[in-house]
Chains A and B, each alone.
Chain A
Amino acid sequence: VSAARTPLRRALAGIAIAGVLLGIVTFVMVASSEVPTAPLLEAFLTLLVGWSFIGTGLFAWDRRPSNLIGPLMVGVGFVWMLAEFKTSDIPLAASIGFAISSLSISFLIHLLLIFPTGKVRSRLDRFYIVYAYVAGGFVAGFPILFYNPATDPDCKHCVTSNPLLIHANLDLVHAIFTGLSAVSVPILVTLIVHLVRRARAADAEERRSQEPVWWAGLATILLFTAALLTNLGPESGNYDDVVWYLANFVIATVPFAFLLGLLRTRLSEADLVAEENVRLDAELQARLDELRESRARIVEAGYVARRKLERDLHDGAQQHLVGLALDLRLAREKLDDDPRAAAEMLDEASAELAKATEELRELARGIHPAILSDRGLEAAIESLAKRAPVPVEVDASLDHRLPEPVEAAAYFVVSEALTNVGRHAGAGRAEVEIRRSNGNLVVEIKDDGRGGADPAGSGLRGLADRVAALDGRLEVEDPAGGGTIVRADIPLSGNGAS
């Protein structure tokens, strides 16, 4: 089961595509807006931070699927880019961006507090997290309902309208921001103290994994504080723009710090179990998908085989029998006037009949050779070897009969492989080895041909399904020395053997 096909991987790929698309939209929107002082720079920085978080977040998510760190990092990336919509000159986009502009800070605080286990450690932590979301998400988003850019003297290049506006009140907006900042700064200071204390209490092991995050966390908090302070203080030139740009570069490195720290963390017992569960779930799901597909193919192969059988009977034996009936009727008519001609026709009829019986015999053999059920796998393989187009050496060491489905699957693997040897391989000889190994039946067919058998070709694909239905595996190899090796490994237990 290849990890690449698990449902988790598929979901992550979908998220990655969404992230790339959002990044492109954001970049175009910001770069083409007249609101920012340096649109291209801002657009670039936004993309840098957004994609850093999404990329590293997806990686972390894949590596530690049961840990919330990865999804949160991805969330930061998305919110970060969406928030940059606030610099757009499209009113609705700007309003939405404005409303969620602080949410990425909330995600970051959440990340810092649950790092590296992904779990909330104390009630105090829980308070900080709830506060971060209430303040950053809800309270910061609230003023947009009362903000009318047209009446804001600070807003020189802003959009002219706010579709989310319900009641213009610039004072209320300023009051909320000022109040929020006034409450948040002391809380943030205590958070810093809290995190510093935790860092100092950490043992060497924890230190190792948390180190990258310390300075990342510090940078984040400094950034937030700086942003708040510039909000509190009077406007003075482009000062907060410079802070903002610098902070952007810093923050783009934060997700890498998280990722590094996360990967340095040794997993606890419980985490390992959880990881294993997630992995097993994904594997199980992939296996179920595979089974569903192979079951469908087996059913389909059954139909194909029936259609082929019908055609063979119809075009072969039946045609001969019809011809035979005709010959007999003609012979009957000739019998009195021209007994010689009648005799000739009867000879023809006999020949037709012989062909029909021969075809029926071959058909029956192809469906299920009697020798397989009567004498077992070894005898049946020996018989196949005698009819093979190239010399075949059979090395079989089975001391007794195997379960019927196993024998049949093994027989048809050898039969198909030897047919291929004759048809495509250009081989001079072949070897068939049959042995029991660790409770499995191993069947190996080697030839000295030119190799290049296509495992996805319908014959081998059908065999692989047939073997897979018994929980076995079929492999096709082109070894270095040339030729082809077809190997089937079929478990005996669970397929009728005790």
Chain B
Amino acid sequence: MRVVVAEDSVLLREGVARLLQEAGHEVVGQAGDADDLMRKVRAHRPDLAVVDVRMPPTQTDEGLRAAKEIRGELPGVGVLVLSAYVEPAYAQELLAENAEGLGYLLKDRVSDVSAFADAVERVGTGGSALDPEVVSVLMGRARDDDPLEQLTPREREVLGLMAEGRSNAAIAEHLVVTDRAVEKHVTAIFGKLGLTASSVDHRRVLAVLRFLEA
């Protein structure tokens, strides 16, 4: 997979690049700010851009804005946003209309090599990734008549993994169960929560997110 990395901290940028290379990807460009990123993405047309949320010049949300721009302009380029904040609002903003080829991960996640590699793989191939911590804030939110209480602990776990953007096969592997068992859980969850099931993972992420947000 061809990747562009945008991150203003050189240390972290080099680290992420090395991780990606070790995972067998090709880092075709490295950028230190949003303009540089846009230039390199347009020039290289990579499969994925790994983008820091906070970059020069304003050090606020350049990454989010660049992600929207890239997705609008070059639908073939997935964008994985790395953030220092466990902030559902940013993730929801990023994945507001379409979760296809988009991801929001905490920077800490890069140290969890396999999880990071999974997310890169998913987002680079048009899937989605949402950080488990963000998912846990969304799921852990106190509500009146919490609909999640209808779910069994296992189903909650599956719901969380769906929200992270994982496919049924990945969930099955993660929970060490059969694909068939996961499918049953998914059907049960969608039935209990009154959601319309979708076989496309990034659509499923969106549906789950909208449900959790409501």
Point out residues on A near B: beta carbons under 8 Å. 350, 353-354, 357-358, 361, 364-365, 369-371, 373-375, 379, 382-383, 386-392, 429
Chain B interface size band reads 20 to 34
B184: CB under 8 A from chain A? no
Quick one: closest B residue to A385, CB to CB? B141
Contact status of A388 and B108, CB under 8 A, knowing A365-B85, A371-B90, A383-B87: no
CA of A364 to CA of B141, assembled, Å:
21
Task: List B contacts of A357 (CB < 8 A).
Answer: 107-108
Max count, chain B CB within 10 A of own CB: residue among A353, A361, A379: A361
> Besides A358-B108, A371-B87, A391-B144, 4 other CB < 8 A contacts?
A371-B89, A375-B89, A389-B142, A390-B142
Quick one: closest B residue to A379, CB to CB? B89
Looking at the complex, which one of A350, A364, A386 makes contact with B88 (CB distance below 8 Å)? A386
Q: B137 near A386 (CB under 8 angstroms)?
A: yes
Task: List A contacts of B143 (CB < 8 A).
Answer: 391
Quick one: closest B residue to A383, CB to CB? B89
Q: A361 near B89 (CB under 8 angstroms)?
A: no
Listed A/B pairs (23) with beta-carbon separation below 8 Å: A350-B111, A353-B111, A361-B85, A361-B86, A361-B108, A364-B84, A365-B85, A370-B85, A371-B85, A371-B90, A373-B60, A374-B60, A374-B61, A382-B89, A383-B87, A386-B88, A386-B138, A386-B141, A387-B137, A387-B141, A388-B142, A390-B142, A429-B144
Q: A370 near B108 (CB under 8 angstroms)?
A: no
Quick one: closest B residue to A378, CB to CB? B89
CA of A391 to CA of B86, assembled, Å:
19
Quick one: closest A residue to B88, CB to CB? A386
CA of A383 to CA of B112, assembled, Å:
26
Task: List A contacts of B89 (CB < 8 A).
Answer: 371, 375, 379, 382-383
Task: List B contacts of A361 (CB < 8 A).
Answer: 84-86, 108
CA of A382 to CA of B141, assembled, Å:
11
Task: List B contacts of A364 (CB < 8 A).
Answer: 84
Quick one: closest B residue to A360, CB to CB? B84
CA of A354 to CA of B111, assembled, Å:
8
Shortest C-beta distance, A368 to chain B (Å), equals 12
Looking at the complex, which one of B108, B138, B141 makes contact with A354 (CB distance below 8 Å)? B108
Shortest C-beta distance, A312 to chain B (Å), equals 17
The 4 closest A-B CB pairs, nearest first, are: A386-B141, A391-B142, A357-B108, A374-B60
Task: List A contacts of B111 (CB < 8 A).
Answer: 350, 353-354
Quick one: closest B residue to A430, CB to CB? B142
